[in-house]
């Protein structure tokens, strides 16, 4: 996303955010040190954000009257609101839709897609040219709960990266963690697995560590969520999740994805030459 405005953290930007939503401006607000930053997906909205803020400071931004004239944006045009996010984050949207579609088709085909997309030994897939098998297991999910959980986490944090204009970085993170976690899981359990969990753990690890390496350029990752995900990771090594209906967990993929995300964040920080503030 594009930085449109930076103001002191003491300033109440809720009226500005309400106004921007009514104007159909895709945006988010994050804290950086002692400031609040308004980010927009479309660079052409920068001038509107800045002029609206000036009107807010002067008391000329009548959000109350606007809310009386227009119902909340998400109540009037939810499909249009979603479409803005899809256009602004096409990579994450494609990953979500592909996972849902392939999972459904695999069920309808009696697991025929699984046979075509499952991983094989790295030596085989390289010799045969079927290199897609190193990646495609991430699109296969075997129950609805697993699919929904992975897609929710992918959407929430993948969009944070893509909306900042870091689509190539996100693609590299997804592809790299997919190969790394799939190969690691193959050597532990063979080819009978699937799911986006390894990639999700890599994205979470990347965002979590990046926020600590570069707090002024943070994604705003909730620290408590990492504790929850680590608990979930540990829980996967027990039989409790299997009893709860999640099926067998690809624990090695989860752990290796987490490790890859940490390594990726450290590498990006080093390659960009950032210094810790």
Which active-site residues does the annotation give? 197, 254
CB 1 within 8 A of CB 47: no
30 C-beta neighbours (distance < 10 Å), count: 16
- Please give the Cα distance from 50 to 7 (Å, whole number): 11
Quote the DSSP letter at residue 38. Answer: E
Helices (H), the chain: 14-22, 46-57, 63-69, 73-76, 78-88, 90-108, 112-117, 122-128, 144-162, 167-189, 197-213, 223-235, 240-241, 251-271
Angle at 249 between CA 210 and CA 195, to 5 degrees: 65
Contacts of 2 (CB under 8 A, 6+ apart): 39, 40, 41, 42, 43, 46, 165
- Please give the Cα distance from 193 to 200 (Å, whole number): 16
CA 142 and chain centroid, separation: 21
Kind plus residue range of the DSSP H or E element containing 1: none
Of 246, 249, 227, 226, the C-alpha closest to 237 is: 249
Q: Per-residue DSSP letters for 42-83?
A: SGGGHHHHHHHHHHHHTT---HHHHHHHS--HHHH-HHHHHH
């Amino acid at each position: 996303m594009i930085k449109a405005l930076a103001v002191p953290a003491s300033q109440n930007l809720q009226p500005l955010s309400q106004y921007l939503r009514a104007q159909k401006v895709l945006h988010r607000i994050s804290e950086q040190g002692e400031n609040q930053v308004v980010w927009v997906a479309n660079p052409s909205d920068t001038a509107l954000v800045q002029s609206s803020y000036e009107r807010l400071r002067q008391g000329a931004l009548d959000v109350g009257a606007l809310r009386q004239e227009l119902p909340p944006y998400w109540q009037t045009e939810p499909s249009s609101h979603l479409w803005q996010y899809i256009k602004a984050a096409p990579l994450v949207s494609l990953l979500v839709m592909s996972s849902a579609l392939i999972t459904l088709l695999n069920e309808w085909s009696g697991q025929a897609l699984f046979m075509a997309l499952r991983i094989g030994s790295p030596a085989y897939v390289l010799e045969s040219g079927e290199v897609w098998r190193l990646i495609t297991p991430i699109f296969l999910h075997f129950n609805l709960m697993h699919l929904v959980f992975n897609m929710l986490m992918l959407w929430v944090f993948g969009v944070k990266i893509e909306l900042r204009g870091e689509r190539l970085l996100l693609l590299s993170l997804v592809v790299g963690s997919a190969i790394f976690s799939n190969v690691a899981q193959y050597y532990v359990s063979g080819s009978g697995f699937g799911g986006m969990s390894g990639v999700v753990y890599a994205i979470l690890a990347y965002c979590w560590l990046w926020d600590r390496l570069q707090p002024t350029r943070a994604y705003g990752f909730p620290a408590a969520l990492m504790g929850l995900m680590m608990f979930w990771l540990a829980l996967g090594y027990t039989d409790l999740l299997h009893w709860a209906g999640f099926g067998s967990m690809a624990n090695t993929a989860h752990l290796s994805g987490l490790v890859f995300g940490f390594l990726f964040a450290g590498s990006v920080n080093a390659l960009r030459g950032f210094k810790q503030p």
